[in-house]
A and B are shown apart, each in its own frame.
Chain A
Amino acid sequence: MHELAIAEEIVAIVADRTRGARVRRIVIEVGRLCAVVPDAMRFCFDLATEGTVAEGARLDIVEVPGRARCRVCGADVVLDRPFGRCGCGSTDLEWLAGEELRIRDVELV
């Protein structure tokens, strides 16, 4: 359950960046290829925000699709899970998008 550690880090970053202002909403980007499960994230977020500036805040998760380039033929490949195969048969893919784990913005009370 690394999502708890990640939720705690989000709260720590937000508290730091907002200098302790109360937070109503946090928007994060989670890539589809990132090893973070949105449902687990939401569950842990409520635990991690208890007693903090973000207690009761809403967590909005923006999922970023996975995209890769084939290292063999150079074609673009869409990935919806952390592995895949190019039309040319190669599994040697360079990931271009989908590993994001970022705090986009916060809405203050």
Chain B
Amino acid sequence: MCRTCGCSDGVGQPTSHAHDHTVDHDRAPGHVHASPSATAVVLSLEQRVLERNDRLAAETRRWLGARGVLALNLMSGPGAGKTTLLERTLRDIGGELEISVIEGDQATDHDADRIRSAGGRAVQVNTGAGCHLDAAMVARALVELGPAEGSVVVIENVGNLVCPALFDLGENAKVVVTSVTDGDDKPLKYPHMFRAGDVLLVNKIDLLPYVRFDRDRCLTFAREMNPRICTFEVSATRGDGLDAWYGWLRQRAAQAHRVGEG
């Protein structure tokens, strides 16, 4: 039954809701009714706000999948060490895995320059006032980047623990970075981000002797938000724990490659 008018037309069309009525309410497209105020016309839209973003993200995912490309959406607050992690990853295993990067920042090309200096290809996206990347920005950047078949694309999102969690970019996995200097209660304060992540990297563990950070507390909070999250404790500067991260990366890249070939 139509929720707006109570008619029984359009049963079985729960998603569009723009069903035809036997009596033609011929006004704007969709489902039009006279409201109680007599002059007003109510148009039922029943549309997801992020539908356009999510549809584009799904197209990107298919495009990358067909090429056997592994795409990661790398997210953290500002200064947790995303770019340093990518620089180190490129230097350590860039000869073995082809990794290119889409850098999202409100302003400057600094991070793309850092990636290029570390031997990777990079496209910088400046979001201006925007606090996150969206599927359209990533789709455009991918055309410019032209990732090779079987390669890895890392989308380094704008440093922000809130907004990027909501936007699907077409990635295969979301990787969240937090650092010991951020404090151990970040998962509790930013539950959406930690829930969205498939992987959590706790970075800067070389600084543990100098900061108050309870690793058990941080990981317990993270698992409370997301019992399935896969965690690595690393230092992107000193190298601690990176082998496990590289192992995960290799395994997922190989998996994406197999799917692309299949």
Residues of A within 8 A of B (CB): 1-2, 4-6, 9-10, 13-14, 17-19, 21, 24, 28, 34-36, 81-83, 85, 90-92, 101-109
Residue pair B45, A2 in contact (C-beta under 8 Å)? no
Interface string of B157-191 (1 = CB under 8 A from A): 00000110111000000000000000000000001
What residues on A are CB-neighbors of B50 within 8 Å? 6, 9, 101
Distance, CA A93 to CA B99, complexed state (A): 35
Which residues of B (42-101) have their CB < 8 Å from a CB of A? 42-53
Known: A19-B28, A101-B50. A91 touches B45 (CB 8 A): no
Residue pair B43, A2 in contact (C-beta under 8 Å)? no
Name the distance in Å between B206's Cβ and chain A's nearest Cβ. 30
Interface size class on chain B is: 35 or more
What residues on B are CB-neighbors of A10 within 8 Å? 49
Residue pair B42, A105 in contact (C-beta under 8 Å)? yes
Residue pair A35, B49 in contact (C-beta under 8 Å)? no
Residue pair B225, A13 in contact (C-beta under 8 Å)? no
Give me 20 A-to-B residue pairs in the complex whose CB atoms sit less than 8 angstroms apart, sorted by A's number: A2-B132, A2-B162, A5-B130, A5-B134, A9-B52, A17-B29, A28-B49, A36-B166, A83-B191, A83-B195, A85-B224, A101-B48, A101-B49, A102-B48, A105-B43, A105-B46, A106-B45, A107-B35, A107-B43, A108-B28
Q: What's the count of A-B pairs with C-beta under 8 Å?
A: 99
What residues on A are CB-neighbors of B225 within 8 Å? 82-83, 91
Interface SS majority for chain A: mixed
Distance, CA A56 to CA B43, complexed state (A): 18
Distance, CA A7 to CA B130, complexed state (A): 13
Distance, CA A38 to CA B89, complexed state (A): 40
Residue pair A105, B4 in contact (C-beta under 8 Å)? yes
Residue pair B223, A24 in contact (C-beta under 8 Å)? no
Distance, CA A2 to CA B167, complexed state (A): 9
Residue pair A17, B163 in contact (C-beta under 8 Å)? no
Residue pair B28, A17 in contact (C-beta under 8 Å)? yes
Known: A17-B47, A101-B48. A35 touches B162 (CB 8 A): yes
Known: A2-B162, A35-B165. A82 touches B191 (CB 8 A): yes
What residues on A are CB-neighbors of B167 within 8 Å? 2
Residue of A nearest to B50 (CB): A101
Residue pair A1, B45 in contact (C-beta under 8 Å)? no
Name the distance in Å between B221's Cβ and chain A's nearest Cβ. 9
What residues on A are CB-neighbors of B29 within 8 Å? 17, 19
Name the distance in Å between A42's Cβ and chain B's nearest Cβ. 15
Q: Is B116 an interface residue, CB under 8 A from the partner?
A: no
